């Protein structure tokens, strides 16, 4: 069975930036094929991604977050835990889990930086949609063989 639905999880930390990834994703995958879920921050994404993947409803699950350096080095641990968790969710369920999670080294909460990252997240959302479509097509071919 080929799924044509996709899940998109987005962290609400820096939502004004992260939400742009969904905009980019929806430029390539119709909104009626995408279920959108909000979580408080990046750390909460892997568990929900795993739960959504286990439902069997989705061809892929995309996850978007913006993990910034707050000056206490915590962002490194969070970013690594999130990426590891997303990979594990995909491996454990057999459903592709895609990351649109960025951890910039030089982010400052200025309008200039916010504008740069808003635009960057749109592009990253498109890239995630391309990846979701490509892996869905490839898996369909492999499973049909």
* Annotated catalytic residue, options 74, 88, 126, 139: 74
- Catalytic site residue 74? yes
Q: Is 56 left (phi over 0), alpha (psi -120 to 50) or beta?
A: left
Among all residues, which ones are annotated catalytic? 74
């Amino acid at each position: 069975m080929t799924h044509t639905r996709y899940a998109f999880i987005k962290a609400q930390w820096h939502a004004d930036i992260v939400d742009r990834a969904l905009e980019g994703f929806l430029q390539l995958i119709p909104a009626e094929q995408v279920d959108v879920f909000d979580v408080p921050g990046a750390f909460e994404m892997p568990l929900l991604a795993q739960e959504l993947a286990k439902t069997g409803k989705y061809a892929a699950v995309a996850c978007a977050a913006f993990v910034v350096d707050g000056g206490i080095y915590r962002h490194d641990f969070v970013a690594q835990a999130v990426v590891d968790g997303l990979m594990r969710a995909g491996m454990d369920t057999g459903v592709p889990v895609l990351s649109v999670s960025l951890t910039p080294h030089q982010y400052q909460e200025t309008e200039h930086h916010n504008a740069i990252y808003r635009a960057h997240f749109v592009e990253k959302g498109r890239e995630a949609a391309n990846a979701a479509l490509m892996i869905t097509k490839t898996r369909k071919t492999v499973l049909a063989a």
